[in-house]
Structure 1
Amino acid sequence: MVVRSSQEGAPGPVLASKVGSGRAVGVSLMLGSGLSTQLGAAVAALAFPVIGPVGVVAVRQWVAAVVLLGVGRPRPLSFTAAQWWPVLGLAAVFATMNLALYTAIERIGLGLAVTLEFLGPLAVALAGSRRRTDLACAIAAGVAVVVLTRPQPSTDYLGIGLALLAAVCWGCYILLNRTVGERLPGLEGSAAAAGVSALVYLPVGGLALWHHPPTLPALACALAAGVLSSAVPFLSDLVALRRVPTHYFGIFMSVNPVLAALVGVVVLDQHLDVTSWAAVAVIVSANAVTVTTTTTTRPAGDQTHRS
């Protein structure tokens, strides 16, 4: 007979407790990341009347570049042509996506703009799938979009179009990010793309700020938007991804439209009607179901780290 110590089985519960604690921290970080992103967008909207979306996006791109270049430490002089092309494409996506989204927020509100933008990752997740579940999610999301954009005398079609452009850019970001990740190590590709985008916005942002001189509060809002929507989510996501499975991350990313709608109500006094809230819930659910039931695991970075 083998006599076992009463403490021999202890590491199991202790390890389980540590894993559970780690996941709880990860979930808190993901929720904090999403809330920070939407608060950043709301704070950015406060600066629109003074410096406009272009000025705010320029400041945000500069903040994102400082953060990503500091973390990724790219070596652009060593990049080959095959590495530079997807990096330049990613830089163009960064620049276009944020400007389209922020201009859409100015025109149609935070909740609706972010909800429509989330069609981008949903479309990529559903592309090529033949599962009935995914087909049902696609149909449900399509109906919800029709409900959200239903024609009314006050419908801002340009704002809706810009939000959909941001969605297309996010889908392109996912595909380009995969290519960049395959051709460059670590975060070098994303950091280089953020740097190029920031350089593009030097003359663009400078001209915007020249024509719309920033007040101190507006500049503070733009800087806060850069920190809240770029620096904080980027660092939070990096830590969270070490504590939670990839599919958990995708599910929690899907909560962003709800957070955006809530922040829009509290910070910007932008209210959605009951029908619009129901449509937002359908799109969020379609995202969550698609991510949960996807059999092929994708890198979590596919849906995050947008600078």
Structure 2
Amino acid sequence: MPAGDTGPSQPPLTTTLSNTPPSAPEATAANGKGRLRGILLMLTSGVSNQVGAATGALGFPGLGPAGVVAIRQAVAAIVMLAVVRPPMHKFTRRQWLPVLALAAIYATMNLTLYTAVHRIGLGLAVTLEFLGPLAVALAASRRRVDLICALVAGAAVFVLMRPQPTTDYLGIFFGLIAACCWAAYILLNRTLGTRLPSAQGAAAAAAVSAAGYLPIGGWILIQHTPAPKYLLYAVIAGLLASAVPYLFDLFTLRLVPAGFFGLFMSINPLLAAVVGWLILDQHLGPLEWIAITAVITANATSAITPTK
């Protein structure tokens, strides 16, 4: 799952022990410390997510994208089921329908993203995937500034897709499919939030998606017998790219507003490009860096511009 998903916002970790409200300076200091902790958690979550994705890419030679996704999904499901403990045996048909749809989105989104990473690199793949939530945000707005942001993001995609001998159109296609899946994931989570409390729907969907990948993972392990290091890479990817972001984001949304959280997510394409360079030795040209910067700027501008 992408970084930033925690389902509906959770209640605060602690409650006020006194009915006497804090003084203004005390409240300001507390809010400042909370936001600083939130920023550190978001930064850690983002780095963990991209390092996990890069580590998963190291497993491609032995497992392929599908094998890495199968193991990553299993790890994510184990962690989410342990933390959330959804009572799936009590789910009604009305609750199961969006859960199954979300499970299909999980399976498709992760596979297409990892296939894109395999073909065009981590930085460009994550940038294309990030167009999904950006499109959802812009589509719901009628502001002129958001139209400009959409045009900027569209120009950035054109730069990434510009015809040249080394252009991998199939990799770009998979990246755009991942973006569509992320957009659908956001919209579907709104439905799940009205039918199931907390993150029960997301945890159940992760479990169903992992179960669907079991035959694929089993077949790959039997046919190829990959070296243990590739299995370790996939497990680490599941922990760093799914478990850690999920838990950290769960706590972060108790410290910072959802809008600020969404704005901070804009740095993920940049983190992906840097991590892809450091871990996978994937180098980007000046135009690719400009396109990534444009997508980040478009989202940030749309998020910080006040609504009239």
TM-score (norm 2): 0.91
The one-letter amino acid paired with 1:228 is L
State how far apart, in whole Å, the 1-side matches of 2:37 and 2:91 are. Answer: 37
SS in 1 for 2:86: coil
State how far apart, in whole Å, the 2-side matches of 1:294 and 1:96 are. Answer: 35
Report the alpha carbon displacement of residue 294 of structure 1 after superposing the two structures with TM.
Answer: 6.8
Q: Give the alignment of 1:144-223 within 5 angstroms.
A: 144-223=156-235
Report the alpha carbon displacement of residue 247 of structure 1 after superposing the two structures with TM.
Answer: 1.1
State how far apart, in whole Å, the 2-side matches of 1:281 and 1:16 are. Answer: 33
CA offsets, 1:33-64, max 9 Å, x none?
01100000110111101111111101100011
Alignment of 1:289 with 2:301, yes or no, is yes
The one-letter amino acid paired with 1:54 is A
| Structure 2 equivalent of residue 266 of structure 1 | 278
The one-letter amino acid paired with 1:108 is I
Who wins on radius of gyration, i.e. which is larger? 1
SS in 2 for 1:217: helix
The one-letter amino acid paired with 2:33 is S
| Structure 2 equivalent of residue 98 of structure 1 | 110
- Comparing 232-241 with 211-220, greater Cα deviation is found at 211-220
| Structure 2 equivalent of residue 135 of structure 1 | 147
State how far apart, in whole Å, the 1-side matches of 2:109 and 2:75 are. Answer: 16
Alignment of 1:48 with 2:38, yes or no, is no
State how far apart, in whole Å, the 2-side matches of 1:294 and 1:70 are. Answer: 40
Contact 1:38 1:263 (C-alpha < 8 Å) held by counterparts:
yes
* CA distance 1:294–1:99, shift in 2 (3 Å): farther
State how far apart, in whole Å, the 2-side matches of 1:133 and 1:222 are. Answer: 41
- Alignment partner of 2:129 out of 95, 117, 120: 117
State how far apart, in whole Å, the 1-side matches of 2:24 and 2:136 are. Answer: 40
The one-letter amino acid paired with 1:287 is N
Contact 1:34 1:233 (C-alpha < 8 Å) held by counterparts:
yes
State how far apart, in whole Å, the 1-side matches of 2:240 and 2:115 are. Answer: 18
Unaligned runs of 5+ in 2: 1-20
Count matched residues: 288
RMSD over equivalenced CA pairs, Å: 1.5
Q: Give the alignment of 1:71-82 within 5 angstroms.
A: 71-82=83-94
- Structure 1 runs (4+) deviating above 3 angstroms are 9-12, 293-296
Alignment of 1:234 with 2:257, yes or no, is no
Report the alpha carbon displacement of residue 72 of structure 1 after superposing the two structures with TM.
Answer: 1.7
- Alignment partner of 1:85 out of 77, 90, 97: 97
Q: What is the percent sequence identity of the aligned residues?
A: 59
| Structure 2 equivalent of residue 278 of structure 1 | 290
CA offsets, 1:180-209, max 9 Å, x none?
111111111111101100110111111122
| Structure 2 equivalent of residue 108 of structure 1 | 120
State how far apart, in whole Å, the 1-side matches of 2:228 and 2:303 are. Answer: 42
Contact 1:250 1:288 (C-alpha < 8 Å) held by counterparts:
no
State how far apart, in whole Å, the 1-side matches of 2:263 and 2:256 are. Answer: 11
State how far apart, in whole Å, the 1-side matches of 2:86 and 2:191 are. Answer: 16
| Structure 2 equivalent of residue 63 of structure 1 | 75
TM-score (norm 1): 0.91
Unaligned runs of 5+ in 1: 1-8, 297-307
